[in-house]
Amino acid sequence: MREPRPERRLLDASRHTRTMQWIMAIMLFLTVLAGALALGTLSAAQSLDRQLVGRLTVQVVEADAGQRNRDADRLLAMLRADPAVAEARLVPEAELARLLKPWLGTIGNDPDLPMPALIDVDLKDAGDAAVAAVAAGAQRITPAARVDRHERWMTPVSRFMALLTGIGGGLVLLMALATGAVVVLAARAGLESHRETIEVMHMLGSTDVQVARLFQRRTARDTAIGGAIGTVAALAVVGFVGFRIAGLGSALLGGATLSAGGWIALALLPLLFVALATLAARLAVLRALGERL
């Protein structure tokens, strides 16, 4: 029968090892989910910013349908001639009625109901000066024109998504600190339970660094095995959630997808935790052994 390795004899290769591996699996599972939350909301916020930057809606609020249509045509011609405007499109009345149907029901199709004319505008320059120039030009054509900036309406949503990104990043940091604390406690417990064995090793000439190396190798192995299990499970959950989000067809939620870099970052988390756990175990053992001298 093959003789067990020294660190296995020193650090209980059965129950203790299995416990540490499951703890690390749970820690990495939660960490990867928190990281996916941070990266997903960050991606969604960036996608939202790209969609809304430089987008305007020009409304013509006029009860007289004939005057409203004439003003809308003049505004559309002015906007399309403006070099700062990338695209200007008059929203059809049927599309406008469909958008208002959740609030007005079928009454939105009533020809006697005065509906504003809407023009969607995409600016080449998203600066405040360009927006102000468009608003001034619209007011010169008709006082009934109103310019709404999409970015202004979606600012609370962007701030909320930034908050979620910060929460996800904070959870990753807290899980890393918690993992380090668990490793330190486990290393100190291992020292106490094997005090006599370690003293014999010292009498035979082993140094504190050699003893610490046994603990850090075992910690790295337990973290790697448990981290791989937790990471695979978490990535499966993230992939399933992403598949369901893609099926919703939502423009906002559809942006909450992970890029190739995001998937790579999540897959690298176990390696970072292995390095963190190994370092924490080494420092904890060396410090504990030093305090005994």
Which range is least confidently modeled, 88-92, 180-184, 207-211?
207-211
Contact 58, 134 (CB under 8 A): yes
User: How would you class 81 by CB atoms within 10 Å of its CB: exposed for 0-12, middle for 13-18, buried for 19 or more?
Assistant: exposed
End-to-end Cα spacing for the chain: 38
Q: Find the mean pLDDT for residues 120-149.
A: 80
In angstroms, rounded to a whole number, what is the distance separating the alpha carbons of residues 60 and 56?
Answer: 13
H-type helices in 194-259, by residue range?
A: 195-203, 208-248, 251-254
pLDDT in tens, 87-133: 888 888 777 777 777 666 665 556 666 678 888 888 877 667 777 88
List the strands of the sheet with 55-60, edge to edge: 85-90, 117-123, 55-60, 145-149
**In degrees, to the nearest 5, what angle opens at C-alpha 100 toward C-alphas 97 and 106?**
65
Higher pLDDT, 35 or 112: 35
Banded pLDDT at 1 (limits 50, 70, 90): very low
Question: How far, CA to CA in Å, does 149 sit from each of 76, 80, 161?
Answer: 17, 18, 19
In angstroms, rounded to a whole number, what is the distance separating the alpha carbons of residues 242 and 246?
Answer: 6
In angstroms, rounded to a whole number, what is the distance separating the alpha carbons of residues 274 and 277?
Answer: 5
> Tokens 């709404």 correspond to what residue?
148
pLDDT reading at 38 higher than 70? yes
Banded pLDDT at 3 (limits 50, 70, 90): very low
Considering the entire predicted model, what is its pTM?
A: 0.69
In angstroms, rounded to a whole number, what is the distance separating the alpha carbons of residues 222 and 230?
Answer: 12
Model pLDDT, residue 73? 86
